[in-house]
Amino acid sequence: MPAKVVVVGSLNMDLVTRAERLPRGGETLTGKSFATVPGGKGANQAVAAARLGAQVSMVGCVGEDAYGEQLRGSLLGEGIDCQAVDRVPGSSGVALIVVDDSSQNAIVIVAGGNGELSPEKVVGFDPVLQQAEVIICQLEVPQETVGYTLKRGRELGKTVILNPAPATGPLPESWYGSIDYLIPNESEATALTGLEVDSLESAEQAASRLVAAGAGKVIITLGAQGSLFADGCRFEHFPAPKVTAVDTTAAGDTFVGGFAAALAAGKSEADAIRFGQIAAALSVTRAGAQPSIPMLSDVQAFIPS
């Protein structure tokens, strides 16, 4: 049976419109196109892990609206177990996105059902956590829920991954001891540490600070520069595969999902990082978030024989 990855996190419907430019305050513009695209960092990571070979369960909340049906249906279509995706009164999470001709965007996120994912709901889905090999969390659901899930994952002896996104400041100190792999990007590492992370040297300084805070291991993703691994004893830089980027929207989520799937499948830490990097590199060659996430066969075809 494939390895088991459980993602505890967000499901959003992205409402994306394109216009020549972003509107000014009080202005009405005529848009060029509109699309509804399933998203949310939790759902994106679940889709990535599933497409990249893992057996995946999602723990989250959607509203009792049409978007909730669609979000749940899109995960089921990927073969993801949704027994722990609860329907709650009100709207599902949405992201209202306007993209202009220069690819600049303005985004408003409404938590909707994601804000209803309480620790009590996660307690009710404890059998799902017990079946996991790897548990992934992000920061698009209530902070107390993330903290509970990290702690419970540690109690159960699971491999616990935190992707601290979106990060607006330092994490609670009590969280660090429950995290096996902390995976921020440059801006998130900056928010967590207060250090400006814009080079390998500054990434090493930030990673050292995060390990000293109690995180087991830290992987800072650096876009085209690859990623930096730190465990308190050593640093290792993993260069990124060379590709032509079209849209980097889901690269971080694809890396996290791919890394988790590879770890759960028994790959070594280094091989799991390389696997996640190849998956992320392939994702940036395609437009969109979930539509850009590659399949296991795509990654395997990219790896030299």
Q: What is the largest CA-CA distance in the chain?
A: 57
Percent of residues, the chain, with pLDDT higher than 70: 98
114 is in an annotated binding site: no
Q: Which of 86, 253, 271, 298 is catalytic?
A: 253
Question: Is residue 277 assigned to a domain?
Answer: yes
Question: Is residue 99 assigned to a domain?
Answer: no
Question: Domain holding 155: CATH number?
Answer: 3.40.1190.20
Residue 24 buriedness (CB in 10 A; 0-12 / 13-18 / 19+)? exposed
Question: Is residue 19 assigned to a domain?
Answer: no
How sure is the predictor about 33, in pLDDT bands with cuts at 50, 70 and 90?
Answer: very high
Question: Is residue 191 assigned to a domain?
Answer: yes
Which residue range is the domain that position 68 belongs to? Answer: 4-11+40-93+113-302
Compute how many other C-beta atoms are within 10 angstroms of the C-beta atom of residue 190: 18
Phi-psi region of 293 (alpha: psi -120 to 50; beta: other; left: phi over 0): beta
- Rounded mean pLDDT, 34-44: 94
Does pLDDT of 191 surpass 60?
yes
- Rounded mean pLDDT, 195-223: 96
Average pLDDT, the chain: 94
52 is in an annotated binding site: no
What are the tens digits of pLDDT across the range 108-157?
Answer: 889 999 999 999 999 999 999 999 999 999 999 999 999 999 999 999 99
185 is in an annotated binding site: yes
286 is in an annotated binding site: yes
Question: Is residue 72 assigned to a domain?
Answer: yes
Q: Which pLDDT does position 1 carry in this prediction?
A: 55
68 is in an annotated binding site: no
Q: Which pLDDT does position 286 carry in this prediction?
A: 85
Considering only CA atoms, give the Rg of the chain.
18
* Lowest model confidence (mean pLDDT) among 166-170, 183-187, 283-287: 283-287
Question: Is residue 139 assigned to a domain?
Answer: yes
How sure is the predictor about 207, in pLDDT bands with cuts at 50, 70 and 90?
Answer: very high
Domain count, the chain: 1
DSSP β-ladder status, 134-137 and 159-162? parallel
Question: Is residue 137 assigned to a domain?
Answer: yes
- Rounded mean pLDDT, 275-304: 88
Question: Is residue 21 assigned to a domain?
Answer: no
126 included as an active-site residue? no
